[in-house]
Amino acid sequence: EKGGWDSFMDKEIHEDPAAVQRTLIGRMSDDGTIHLDEVHIDEHELKAVDKIIVVACGTASYAGMVAKYAIEHWVRVPVEVELAHEFRYRDPILTPRTLVVAISQSGETMDTLMALRHAREQGSKVLAICNTQGASIARESDAVLYTHAGPEVAVASTKAFVAQITAAYILGLYLAQLKGTVFRDEIRNTFDQLQAMPRKIQWVLDTQPSTIEQAAVQLADARSFLFLGRHVGYPVAMEGALKLKEIAYTFTEGFAAGELKHGPIALVDEGEPIVFIVPPARGRNVLHAKVLSGIEEVKARGAYIIAVAEVGDKDVERYADVIFWRPECPTLMSPLVDVVPLQLFAMDMAKQKGYDVDKPRNLAKSVTVE
């Protein structure tokens, strides 16, 4: 069943491009409109949505955090992302104009299921982004947008994450189309950018593994890691940190790069490995300069810098000890590629340490208890 791969995790990371591609199939027609035919929520109700709340856990919540940046940018509707287990117990403000988006690979996560039940009881509509046909979360929602990542077996979620971002982006573009907040040409253009992503992910899978493996060999004994990013790179950093703690049992912390000076920089000591997600430099991207100054700060304190950066980024080359390269792509699309080297890195670290990458200790693939 592993199709020649050492582990399901390895196989599933290599299915990242297909997971994105299959999730996009049939969504854009020749006239440039996005289709969500199976979403049976009345168009008028969707048009009237004035707030979106994403509820999810773990990796799915990081996909939701990525989606927040894109959906708010395109749809101009506030998006909150909340861990499902926190959401239900804090008396959240829910109205018939709130759209709750429940993201779940398994569709059986009890925390997420309870959150969506609560939202529906309060009169809000729930749309599920789910990878498992007919799962509880799909059945109990008002509408489902399936991700087509295919069955995910390894406990650590990989291909489902990129498929979740893709599905949430399609939802965002659909809402933008309904509300008229983005021109049709721009919707088509953005959809084309999404369609180009499987090829870019494949480039990472074809060219970066030996650098990633060497880094894992060198860093296998590191006691802790920090993962930092800004904007969409922030949830990617969180996800990279989660992958490493889950399967390599390395103590990691992910946070927003801008927080460094507000406390975490105190942790930085000689040789501390720090992973930076560096945004594209093109177009004098102000975020690029900000992340770079964070790199300079910690480099000056002796940190060991691992960067995920765009091919040809000379500034990063100057400071980083190791670079996992990403091909050129727009900032909003970058999480789809940037997570891939981090998935491979976590897997290689776990292998170096002799752990079972598919079945990490203490964890279950779907968490069906609250």
Provide the annotated active-site residues: 365
Residue 163 lies near ligand M6R (rule: CB under 6 A): no
Residue 168 lies near ligand M6R (rule: CB under 6 A): no
Nearer to ligand M6R, 299 or 365 (CB): 365
For 292, list phi and psi in degrees, rounded to 5.
-60, -40
Q: Give the integer Cα–Cα distance in Å for 195 and 123.
A: 36
Burial code (b: 16+ CB inside 10 Å, e: under 16) for 113-151 equals: bbbbebbbeeebbbbbbbbbeebbbbebbbbbbbbbbee
Q: Distance of CA 320 to CAs 19, 181, 265, Å?
A: 31, 40, 17
Which region, judged by CB under 6 A, interacts with ligand M6R, from 1-9, 53-61, 170-178, 285-293? Answer: 53-61
Among 21, 109, 136, 177, binds ligand M6R (CB under 6 A): 109
For 55, list phi and psi in degrees, rounded to 5.
-120, 135
Among 7, 23, 147, 157, binds ligand M6R (CB under 6 A): 157
Among 7, 112, 208, 250, binds ligand M6R (CB under 6 A): 112
HSE, side-chain direction, 13 A CA sphere, residue 104: 37
Residue 21 lies near ligand M6R (rule: CB under 6 A): no
Among 21, 59, 141, 252, binds ligand M6R (CB under 6 A): 59
Among 34, 52, 67, 155, binds ligand M6R (CB under 6 A): 155
Size of the site for ligand M6R (CB under 6 A): 16
Q: Give the integer Cα–Cα distance in Å for 273 and 239.
A: 16
Closest-approach residue to ligand M6R (CB) = 58
Q: Distance of CA 324 to CAs 89, 172, 214, 258, Å?
A: 40, 29, 11, 22
Residue 366 lies near ligand M6R (rule: CB under 6 A): yes
Residue 156 lies near ligand M6R (rule: CB under 6 A): yes
Spell out the alpha helix ranges (H) of 110-180: 110-121, 136-139, 159-179
Residue 235-254 contact track with ligand M6R, rule CB under 6 A, x = bound:
-----------x--------
Residue 147 lies near ligand M6R (rule: CB under 6 A): no
Residue 83 lies near ligand M6R (rule: CB under 6 A): no
Strand order in 224-229's β-sheet? 251-256, 224-229, 273-277, 304-310, 322-326
Among 60, 149, 278, 337, binds ligand M6R (CB under 6 A): 60
Residue 295 lies near ligand M6R (rule: CB under 6 A): no
Residue 57 lies near ligand M6R (rule: CB under 6 A): yes
Residue 208 lies near ligand M6R (rule: CB under 6 A): no
Nearer to ligand M6R, 57 or 323 (CB): 57
Residue 260 lies near ligand M6R (rule: CB under 6 A): no
Q: How many other CB atoms are there within 10 angstroms of residue 11's CB atom?
A: 19
Among 7, 23, 98, 106, binds ligand M6R (CB under 6 A): 106
Minimum CB distance to ligand M6R, residue 364 (Å)? 8
* Cβ-contact 334, 279 below 8 angstroms: yes
Among 104, 136, 177, 208, binds ligand M6R (CB under 6 A): 104
Return the C-alpha torsion angle 341, 347, 349, 355, nearest 10.
Answer: 170
The Cα diameter of the chain in Å comes to 58
Q: Where are the beta strands (DSSP E) in the chain?
A: 51-56, 79-83, 98-104, 125-130, 143-146, 224-229, 251-256, 273-277, 304-310, 322-326
Which region, judged by CB under 6 A, interacts with ligand M6R, from 8-16, 58-66, 200-208, 228-236? Answer: 58-66
Minimum CB distance to ligand M6R, residue 298 (Å)? 27
Q: How many other CB atoms are there within 10 angstroms of residue 4's CB atom?
A: 6
Residues contributing to the site for ligand M6R (CB under 6 A): 57-60, 104-106, 109, 112, 155-157, 246, 363, 366-367
